[in-house]
Amino acid sequence: MPGPLHESLVALFAAVPSLLHEVLASTERTAPLLPSHHAVVEEVRTTFIVEPVELRADRVFLVTARGRRLVVVLEVQLRRDPDKRTAWASYAAAAVRQLAADNVVVLVITASDAMARWARRQTVSLTDASFAPVVLGPADLLRLEPASPAAALAVPALDLATRSPRPPADEVADYLLRLHGLDPEAGRAYADLVLARLTRHQQLEVEAIMTTRTRTRNILDDAADRGLRRGLEQGLEQGLEQGLEQGLEQGIAAGARLERERARAGVLAVARASLPAAVVAELEAIDDHDTLVARAFEAVAAQSRQGG
């Protein structure tokens, strides 16, 4: 079963179509195949009928402009699989027949340059021609210079997701804070990608840093904002009976209280799953939210040092 890193890489290209277009335009073998720099990218079916079986690709995109159709079969490959050699060639042949493509690209994304080198060797002879996928490893992806704002965030995300050893928590937190204001689907895809390789302790450490820096807003979970809105709505409803001014004041107070309670509950919930009972009891006794977050961060850091 594909792991979090595989799934998040696949989801990223579906959530940020402009990234796929930028990759195609920046790659020597695929740039000439683009029908136009203003082509439309849309996701299509992923199953191909290759008698006598069905083959399912990770994602399939149709790039269209001026009546021309380019099919891009996206495959994320994190480990060696000798069966892919013929599967990729079958994808290309089936896409031409079943999707009426003018051109087909099998685009293979890897999370290591060693895997990219292996994938590039998976060529298949087809009578008097040969088929080889277009393979991009981290070294290739990190050279991209995307023009669109959403796609530009891919380069640091791919760096954080594929770097060895894993990046420090404060660097991950800095990147996640940059996603504020991005389209929610794209932001979620980028966040999932950079968090995919982190342990639970490391994720808690990142969340603690972000909560400390933003005080009340956590980009990974907007439930606190929803609590604020619910509280305000409740207060306004009461205001119809008790007076608009009083109801508005109660709504703001209720929203702030719900927000604090939600943030506190989130920190404690992760602490109970990750820290010793004695430390959790100490955290539960802390009333001030900033002190609670700071102490939780210290506890996670200490636990990580002991485990390492």
β-pairing verdict for 53-56 and 47-50: antiparallel
Alpha-carbon distance 49 to 96, whole Å?
12
Per-residue pLDDT band at 288 (split at 50, 70, 90): confident
Per-residue pLDDT band at 120 (split at 50, 70, 90): very high
Position 89 scores a pLDDT of 87
Q: What is the pLDDT of residues 22-41, one digit of tens each?
A: 999 999 999 988 887 778 88
232-244: burial string, b at 16+ Cβ within 10 Å, e else: bebbeebbeeeee
Of 161, 199, 198, 157, which is closest to residue 179 (Cα–Cα)?
157
Q: What is the pLDDT of residues 180-196, one digit of tens each?
A: 888 889 999 999 999 99
Are 133 and 144 within 8 A, CB to CB?
A: no
Of 152, 169, 170, which is closest to residue 21 (Cα–Cα)?
152
- Position 169 pLDDT exceeds 60: yes
- Position 160 pLDDT exceeds 90: yes
- Position 234 pLDDT exceeds 70: no
- Position 276 pLDDT exceeds 70: yes
Position 139 scores a pLDDT of 93
Alpha-carbon distance 97 to 55, whole Å?
14
Residue 166 DSSP code: P
* CB within 8 Å of 4: residues ≥ 6 apart: 192, 196, 197
Residue 31 DSSP code: G
Are 191 and 206 within 8 A, CB to CB?
A: no
Are 263 and 218 within 8 A, CB to CB?
A: yes
pTM above threshold 0.85 = no
Of 166, 270, 170, which is closest to residue 212 (Cα–Cα)?
170
Residue 32 DSSP code: G
- Position 152 pLDDT exceeds 50: yes
- Position 282 pLDDT exceeds 70: yes
Are 157 and 194 within 8 A, CB to CB?
A: yes
The token pair that represents 221 in the structure block:
């979970």
Q: What is the pLDDT of residues 57-91, one digit of tens each?
A: 889 999 998 888 899 999 999 999 988 888 888 88
* CB within 8 Å of 228: residues ≥ 6 apart: 255, 256, 258, 259
Start-to-end CA span in the chain (Å): 28
